[in-house]
Amino acid sequence: MDREAGAGERGAALVDVRGLAVRYGAISAVHGVDLQVHAGEAVAIIGPNGAGKTSLLSAMAGIVRPAAGSIEIGGRPAASIPLPEMVRQGVALVPEGRNIFGSLTVMENLRLGATVRRDDGVAAEIERVVETFPVLGERRNQPAGQLSGGEQQMLAIARAMLSRPRLLMLDEPSLGLAPVIVDRVYELIRTIRAQGVAILLVEQNAERAFAVAERACIMSHGAFTLTGTPPEIRQSGAFDAAYFGVAMEAVP
Amino acid sequence: MSEQIVQTLVDAISVGGLYALTALGIGLIFGVMRLINFAHAQLIMAAGYAVLVFSTQSVVLAIAGALAAAVVLALLVERAAFRPLRSADPAMLLIASFAVSFFLEKAMIVVVGSRPKGVDFLPGLARQIEVAGVRLQMLQLVTIAVCLVLLAATTWFLRSTRLGLEMRAAAENFRMAEVLGVRADRVIATAFAISALLAGAVACLFVAQTGLVQPRMGLQLVIIAFVGTVIGGLGSLPGSALGGFLVGAVTILLQALLPPDLRLFREAFLFVAVAAVLVVRPQGLIPAPGMKERI
Amino acid sequence: MSEASAPALRVEPVADATPSPLARLFPLLCLVAVVLVISGLAELVPTVAQRRITQGLINLIAVVGLYVFAGNSGVLSFGNVAFMAIGAYVSALLTMPAAAKGVFLPDLPAWLAAAEWPVLGGALAGGGAAALVAAVAGYPLMRLSGISASIATFAILVVAYVVLGNWTSVTGGQNSLMGLPIYVGQWTAAGWAISAITVAFLHQESRSGLLLRASREDEPAAAASGVHIVRHRLAAFVIGAFLSGISGVLLGHFLGTVRVETFYLDLTFLLIAMLVIGGMRSLTGAVAGAVVIALLTELLRQAEVGVTIGGTAIAAPGGLGDAVLALLMLVMILFRPNGLAGGREIEWPRRRPSR
């Protein structure tokens, strides 16, 4: 597995992270992380609770300022992009816990997803979303807070997609959902992938992530401990150690 | 006898309306920024003095001037004082708000002195008309009408426009709204502008009613309306309006119903009620979605 | 609560880690010295200035009272001026000569009308009454979170203002009460100021004070550790109210009159400005704020009075002082939110361990 090979073929990275460190006061959540995501790629960051995955994603999405290192979005330094402009750069985030607006209706949530778009295709696209998820159509004028967990997750993802992102970042999309629902969520992620949108997926559940991602980074205690394609990682036998944080070098 | 009851009721509704509008203005800002804008009183003050300046020329000019003065001041205050503090903790915001309000009031005193000035604004509305056999003051009816129209307009704006949708989203979860691309600056500026328009309208009606402007005007309105916002539910717009209305109306009704020696204590009753509500039902009568303590 | 079973880290003791008793008392001694110096200077200046200094010391006590609660708990209180009012009125009622009471408060109950307590008793009663009201009103309020609690203390201010201003038979309502025994000069004020500073210092070094400060930094964490935040907040609130009450007593017996109008928004703003500018998070800040703002307001007042140069009077417009104070407070909040003292006490210079 060679991360660098093929980078030139795919063009500039959508997101380019180098030497990233994220700190909360004296606590280091992320240190020394390098990561690139290119157009159309699906990358997973897998690790247990507290590994630093959400902090990494927050820094990449522009929510948290890094303590060290650099992040470039489409070639531009992320520090120069204010948070509301991130989505205009083609980066959409579905944060942990769905974060839908419970007091707004389902339709209003969807329309917010398209906030940055000025074209006329929005209404038609929303209708297509609603066709794909009939339950959203049934509840279109009800407060989104009344949806079930799985339905809210679908809504959150559909909402994020309405901004026509080039990169979709998902933080623990399976968290707190029943396996049957998670199946549907991952079906949706695969569909999005098939449309050519790059995916950056943060997960605790490695198997789920391996099914979608072409490249995975195992994260523990704030750093990547193992990277590679899912087959490579499985064959290396080093997964458990990497996941649970026994210190080791990255598999070359 | 029943004429008196109707008159008291109309009085209560018209005063309630003024407080509802004021409370709505305060609630709008709190909703998007978690900031209690004490300076709302000075928005009313600025609008009032604009009416003073233009009242001799034409009514339309006076009203336009009042609205413009309030909006300009609101945007200035937002830009200079509140925007730099956007990420500060709520206690600092509260103190800053207090300081801004105090500064504006004292600065006005430096410029115009602290004594009230008389204003002859819309004197035609002071006359009484007869409605269904009851004599009512024209100004009160106009006040009620204006309040209803503005409440409806604000509601329409929030529910039916894109900017209104963004504001409601930001009020529920500011960070998530930003992640979706909602621009904080626009939303907050809009909230301040609408809040200022409401303040300007209240000022016009208030000046027409009292015939006076002074630097301290607006203070009473805002303190009582603020009580209403707390009772109705901080951060909830229908709650604010309802709370403001109830508090304003109850003030008038208490005045009419309390025995004379207790009448002077009516404000004390109100504030004890606030404290009671805060203790028993801190989220207010109509709780706002998304209001939670910072963890 | 069981001990955590994580492996213990070894920590090398740092040289000078435990400050000597002198170092611990250093802030207190400094602040007391400041008060003594101020009072000493007051001996040297004309009477008018002396009176200003005395009033400044009284305000200092009020700010310290405000600090005991607001600084340690992180919750701003708008209500301390109400406690000043209560202290002033209670002491007035107990110490005014019966003849004066007969003139201003003809409807007092007989036992009160005849009471002529010694001034110390009146002062302690005034502080005690304020503390009692704080205990009763504060009990339900201390459970509220930061902003709600602040709003509730604002309610205390308004309720006190309205009640005291309308309870004509007992307080004279909107009218001034006059004829209070005047016993407060700069040394009395200084003595009370030193006591107040000492009380505040002892409180913040006490277990209750330390636990309260811990909760200020991180409320959920402290609550999860079993700290009884409500209890400690209430204690601070009551102690702060007592000190505020004392300052109200002193104000009344300095001016010789009590008027409810004195104890409302303007004074509230002045005290909050002093605390914020000086630095809300330390006793040094409270004292510093009181001193600096007292000087500043004096300068501005002189500017408003004006200066006569060659027959022309040049004066700043009235009210400028207040506007400048408000502006200063805003600037401080924007650029140095922890105030002049930056949240720290005056420290005994420590030898840093060599690396």
Residue C130 lies in a domain: yes
Contact yes or no for A112 and B180 at CB 8 A: yes
| Structure token pair of residue B42 | 């000075």
**Alpha carbons within 13 A on the beta-carbon side of A15:** 34
Q: Which range has highest mean pLDDT (A184-188, B6-10, B259-263, C123-127)?
A: C123-127
pLDDT tens-digit series, residues C56-103: 999 999 999 999 999 998 889 999 999 999 999 999 988 888 888 888
Contact yes or no for B110 and C320 at CB 8 A: yes
Q: Are B234 and B291 in contact (CB under 8 A)?
A: yes
Choosing among 3.30.70.20, 3.40.50.300, 2.40.50.140, 3.30.720.200, the CATH entry for A40-58+83-244 is: 3.40.50.300
Taking contacts as CB-CB distances below 8 angstroms, the residues of chain B near C148 are: 278, 282
CA distance C170 to chain B (A): 14
Domains of chain C: total: 1
Contact yes or no for A87 and B181 at CB 8 A: yes
Residue C335 lies in a domain: no
Taking contacts as CB-CB distances below 8 angstroms, the residues of chain B near C145 are: 282, 293
Q: Are B48 and B199 in contact (CB under 8 A)?
A: no
CA distance B168 to chain C (A): 22
Contact yes or no for A145 and B289 at CB 8 A: yes
| Structure token pair of residue A205 | 């559940």
Q: Are B206 and B48 in contact (CB under 8 A)?
A: yes
pLDDT tens-digit series, residues A100-135: 898 899 999 999 988 888 777 888 888 888 887 788
Q: Which range has highest mean pLDDT (A7-16, B282-291, C126-135)?
A: C126-135
Residue C277 lies in a domain: no
Contact yes or no for B181 and A84 at CB 8 A: yes
Residue B288 lies in a domain: no
Range of the domain at B11: 2-218
Contact yes or no for C322 and B106 at CB 8 A: yes
Range of the domain at C218: 21-264
CA distance B146 to chain A (A): 28
- Strand duo A42-46 + A223-228: pairing: unpaired
Residue C197 lies in a domain: yes
Facing A104 at nearest CB: one of B162, B168, B181: B168
Distance of CA C270 to the CA centre of its chain: 11
* Cα dihedral A154/A159/A164/A169 (nearest 10): -60
Euclidean distance between CA atoms C170 and C166, whole angstroms: 9
Contact yes or no for A159 and B180 at CB 8 A: yes
Residue B121 lies in a domain: yes
Euclidean distance between CA atoms C215 and C73, whole angstroms: 7
Which residues, other chains included, contact C199 with Cβ-Cβ below 8 Å and sequence gap of 6+?
C68, C239, C243
Residue B233 lies in a domain: no
Residue C278 lies in a domain: no
CA distance B201 to chain C (A): 26
Q: Which residue has the higher pLDDT, A22 or C345?
A: A22
Helices B184-210 and B162-172 meet at what angle, rounded to 10? 100
Average pLDDT of chain A, as a whole number = 84
Domains of chain B: total: 1
CA distance A63 to chain B (A): 8
| Structure token pair of residue A17 | 């992270």
Sequential pLDDT tens for chain B (295 residues) = 577 888 888 889 999 999 999 999 999 998 888 888 999 999 999 999 999 998 888 888 889 999 999 999 999 999 998 988 887 777 788 889 989 999 999 999 888 888 898 888 887 777 888 877 778 888 888 999 999 999 999 999 999 999 999 999 988 888 899 999 999 889 999 999 999 999 999 999 999 988 889 998 888 889 888 888 888 877 778 888 998 998 888 888 888 877 777 766 777 777 787 777 777 776 667 776 655 432 2
Contact yes or no for B290 and A145 at CB 8 A: no
> Is the CB of C330 inside 8 Å of chain B's CB atoms?
yes
Residue B31 lies in a domain: yes
* Partners of chain B (3+ Cβ pairs below 8 A): A, C
Residue B246 lies in a domain: no
Facing A103 at nearest CB: one of B182, B184, B289: B289
Residue B128 lies in a domain: yes
Residue among C161, C229, C334 with most chain B CBs within 10 A, to mutate: C334
What angle is formed at CA C218 by the lines to CA C337 and CA C68, rounded to 5 degrees?
60
**Alpha carbons within 13 A on the beta-carbon side of B94:** 16
Euclidean distance between CA atoms C208 and C73, whole angstroms: 11
Facing A83 at nearest CB: one of B173, B179, B289: B179
- Sheet arrangement for strand A215-220: A91-94, A167-171, A198-203, A42-46, A215-220, A223-228
